[in-house]
């Protein structure tokens, strides 16, 4: 009974679910009392081996150092820390902004780092890259080296913007916040070569190397060590300027790299995507003829491989050949898909909504008989993927706009639901308190 009580609250914060586990402790999704604001709570509870090696006092010092460092930073590309306290078991914890999305989850990266991940549209990579480098410029100006830039440490906000998190390995004014001894500083494949030799002697150029690996990974789905940097030879979207950018960003010696984040940002800003190449070349399979039979319209509660097969997706949970078609515009702002017989809202919700609000939005459409119809509903994952088209896959002039992420009617267990990211053409599940857009559909 005592353990159950402890897992329900940390300090005054009500715990909703465990988000992750690291060597130093856990991160939880939690609620602030009374106002029910969702936050992330990081609590010190180290692995036994780490505690034996470093000592609890030293780990507490490191943990507090991370919280103090993050709380003192104020930049749009950095996660904010709002509170610090000690729970009933004497464990220190700190409270941060909570975000439903992180870049590692979005690209489908896991512990098998050499496995191909989902590529990201180049226009979106440029937008993410600019924000990441602006955040690094701010950190480096304050003599802070992050030392662990990787996709899972990049959160993505509801308005599709970058937030750098996890400063547990940061080097602040040449003072290390990471454990001493033989513990590796940084993540394999992302950490700069010099970081493995002298982790406490690195400067901001180590972060710039990691940023280069991350950007290459986003563009190609691969790590740069798996093939040459010459993107122009394998993809018409890129010219020789991209090759030169990555050759410098990924130089093995710091002196050969961009020397500052501002310099790397300026070089990134000068890069352009060959729009004649078409962003559709990033899709998982060639475009195929549109479906000629009705798509599944009944909600399902499904997980894992069973879900992938039901949705007709590949191993990365991406579309396998939908596209090429165009919708027929109907009166009252509707779109008709002649191939599937579905009628769609032309727009959808103006704002992102949690899953309960999404259903309320649908109920509202039916209550006022939007466009003369009372059979609006949330689409299935299969139906959402039918929205893919050549036009949608083309590079857009405004990559800064919020992403095309939509709730489906399909569930993933008791408190999660499936959504589809049409920008990256994949399906995934999220907590029902997360926020996505709504695009209503009905049968013709």
pLDDT confidence band for 1 (50 / 70 / 90): very low
Q: Which residue has the tokens 């940002």?
A: 265
Residue 111 has pLDDT above 90, yes or no: no
Query: How does the average pLDDT of the chain come out, rounded?
Result: 88
How far lies 147's CA from each of 113, 177, 190, 191, 203, in Å?
A: 18, 11, 9, 7, 9
Judgement on whether residues 336 and 270 belong to the same structural domain of the protein = no
pLDDT confidence band for 5 (50 / 70 / 90): very low
Judgement on whether residues 381 and 359 belong to the same structural domain of the protein = yes
Range list of β-strands (E), 346-443: 405-411, 416-421, 426-431, 441-443
* Spatial separation of the C-alpha atoms in residues 267 and 34, rounded to whole Å: 48
Judgement on whether residues 245 and 368 belong to the same structural domain of the protein = no
Q: What percent of the chain has pLDDT over 90?
A: 68
Judgement on whether residues 73 and 197 belong to the same structural domain of the protein = no
**Predicted pLDDT at 323:** 59
Residue 413 has pLDDT above 90, yes or no: yes
**Predicted pLDDT at 402:** 64
Q: Which of residues 284 and 442 earns the better pLDDT score?
A: 442
* Spatial separation of the C-alpha atoms in residues 143 and 204, rounded to whole Å: 8
Judgement on whether residues 132 and 256 belong to the same structural domain of the protein = yes
Count of CB atoms situated within 10 Å of the CB of 367 = 10
Judgement on whether residues 133 and 79 belong to the same structural domain of the protein = no
CA neighbor of 100 nearest in space, from 382, 419, 423 = 419
Judgement on whether residues 201 and 296 belong to the same structural domain of the protein = no
CA dihedral 256, 257, 260, 262 (to 10 degrees): 130
For the domain that residue 139 is a member of, what is the CATH number? 1.10.510.10
Domain's final residue, options 280, 298, 324: 280
CA neighbor of 165 nearest in space, from 245, 67, 258 = 67
* Spatial separation of the C-alpha atoms in residues 174 and 169, rounded to whole Å: 12
pLDDT confidence band for 313 (50 / 70 / 90): very high
CA neighbor of 248 nearest in space, from 273, 266, 275, 274 = 266
pLDDT in tens, 215-266: 999 999 999 976 667 888 878 889 999 999 999 999 999 999 999 999 999 9
pLDDT in tens, 366-404: 999 999 999 999 999 999 999 987 666 666 545 555 678
Does residue 148 carry a catalytic annotation?
yes
Q: Catalytic: which of 148, 410, 423, 431?
A: 148
**Predicted pLDDT at 412:** 97
Average pLDDT over residues 77-82: 96
Residue 65 has pLDDT above 70, yes or no: yes
pLDDT confidence band for 181 (50 / 70 / 90): low
Count of CB atoms situated within 10 Å of the CB of 142 = 12
Average pLDDT over residues 186-213: 93
Judgement on whether residues 419 and 304 belong to the same structural domain of the protein = yes
Judgement on whether residues 276 and 288 belong to the same structural domain of the protein = no
Average pLDDT over residues 423-434: 94
**Predicted pLDDT at 188:** 87
Helix (H) or strand (E) segment spanning residue 92: strand 92-97
Judgement on whether residues 299 and 229 belong to the same structural domain of the protein = no
* Spatial separation of the C-alpha atoms in residues 431 and 100, rounded to whole Å: 8
C-alpha 293 chain-centroid distance? 34
Radius of gyration (C-alpha) of the chain in whole angstroms: 23
C-alpha 252 chain-centroid distance? 28
For the domain that residue 89 is a member of, what is the CATH number? 3.30.200.20
Average pLDDT over residues 51-60: 88
How far lies 79's CA from each of 39, 64, 153, 206, in Å?
A: 11, 16, 10, 21
Judgement on whether residues 389 and 320 belong to the same structural domain of the protein = yes
pLDDT confidence band for 212 (50 / 70 / 90): very high
**Predicted pLDDT at 230:** 87
Q: Please, what is the end-to-end C-alpha distance for the chain in angstroms?
A: 54
Domain's final residue, options 38, 66, 97: 97
Q: Residue 329: is it exposed, middle or buried by C-beta count within 10 angstroms (0-12/13-18/19+)? A: exposed
Domain's final residue, options 65, 81, 97: 97
Average pLDDT over residues 85-90: 93
**Predicted pLDDT at 37:** 93
pLDDT confidence band for 347 (50 / 70 / 90): confident
Judgement on whether residues 253 and 291 belong to the same structural domain of the protein = no
Range scoring the smallest mean pLDDT among 38-47, 201-210, 293-302: 293-302
Average pLDDT over residues 433-442: 96
Domains contained in the chain, number:
3
Which residue segment(s) compose the domain that 15 sits in? 2-97
**Predicted pLDDT at 69:** 92
**Predicted pLDDT at 221:** 93
Q: Which of residues 179 and 233 earns the better pLDDT score?
A: 233
pLDDT confidence band for 135 (50 / 70 / 90): very high
* Spatial separation of the C-alpha atoms in residues 205 and 200, rounded to whole Å: 13
For the domain that residue 399 is a member of, what is the CATH number? 3.10.100
């Amino acid at each position: 009974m005592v353990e159950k009580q402890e897992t329900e609250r940390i300090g005054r914060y009500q715990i909703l679910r465990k988000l992750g586990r690291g060597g130093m402790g856990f991160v939880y999704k939690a609620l602030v009392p009374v106002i029910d604001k969702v936050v992330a709570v990081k609590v010190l509870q180290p692995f036994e081996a780490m505690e034996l090696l470093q000592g609890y006092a030293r780990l507490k010092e490191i943990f507090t150092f991370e919280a103090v460092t993050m709380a003192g930073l104020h930049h749009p590309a950095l996660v904010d820390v709002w509170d610090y306290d000690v729970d009933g078991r004497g464990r220190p914890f700190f409270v941060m902004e909570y975000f439903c999305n992180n870049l590692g989850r979005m690209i489908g990266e896991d512990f098998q780092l050499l496995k191909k991940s989902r590529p990201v549209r180049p226009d979106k990579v440029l937008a993410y890259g600019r924000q990441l480098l602006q955040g690094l410029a701010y950190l480096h100006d304050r003599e802070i080296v992050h030392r662990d830039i990787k996709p899972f440490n990049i959160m993505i906000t509801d308005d599709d913007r970058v937030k750098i998190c996890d400063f547990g390995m940061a080097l602040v004014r040449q003072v290390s916040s990471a454990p001493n001894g033989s513990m590796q500083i940084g993540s394999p494949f992302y950490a700069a070569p010099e970081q493995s030799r002298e982790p406490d002697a690195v400067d901001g150029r180590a972060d710039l190397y990691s940023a280069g690996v991350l950007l290459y990974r986003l563009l190609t789905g691969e790590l740069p060590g798996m093939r040459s940097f010459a993107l122009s030879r394998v993809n018409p979207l890129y010219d020789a300027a991209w090759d030169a950018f990555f050759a410098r960003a990924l130089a093995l010696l710091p002196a050969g790299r961009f020397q500052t984040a501002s310099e790397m940002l300026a070089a990134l800003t000068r890069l352009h995507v060959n729009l004649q190449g078409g962003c559709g070349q990033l899709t998982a399979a060639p475009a195929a003829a549109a479906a000629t039979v009705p798509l599944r319209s009944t909600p399902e509660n499904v997980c894992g491989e069973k879900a992938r097969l039901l949705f007709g997706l590949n191993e990365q949970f991406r579309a396998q050949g939908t596209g090429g078609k165009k919708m027929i515009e109907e009166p009252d702002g509707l779109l008709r898909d002649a191939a599937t017989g579905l009628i769609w809202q032309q727009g959808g919700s103006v704002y992102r909504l949690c899953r309960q609000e999404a259903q309320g939005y649908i109920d509202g459409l039916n209550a006022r008989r939007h466009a003369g119809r009372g059979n609006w509903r949330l689409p299935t994952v299969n139906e959402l993927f039918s929205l893919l088209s050549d036009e949608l896959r083309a590079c857009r002039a405004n990559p800064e706009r919020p992403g095309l992420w939509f709730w489906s009617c399909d569930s993933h267990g008791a408190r999660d639901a499936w959504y589809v990211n049409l920008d990256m053409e994949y399906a995934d599940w999220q907590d029902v308190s997360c926020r996505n857009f709504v695009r209503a559909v009905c049968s013709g």
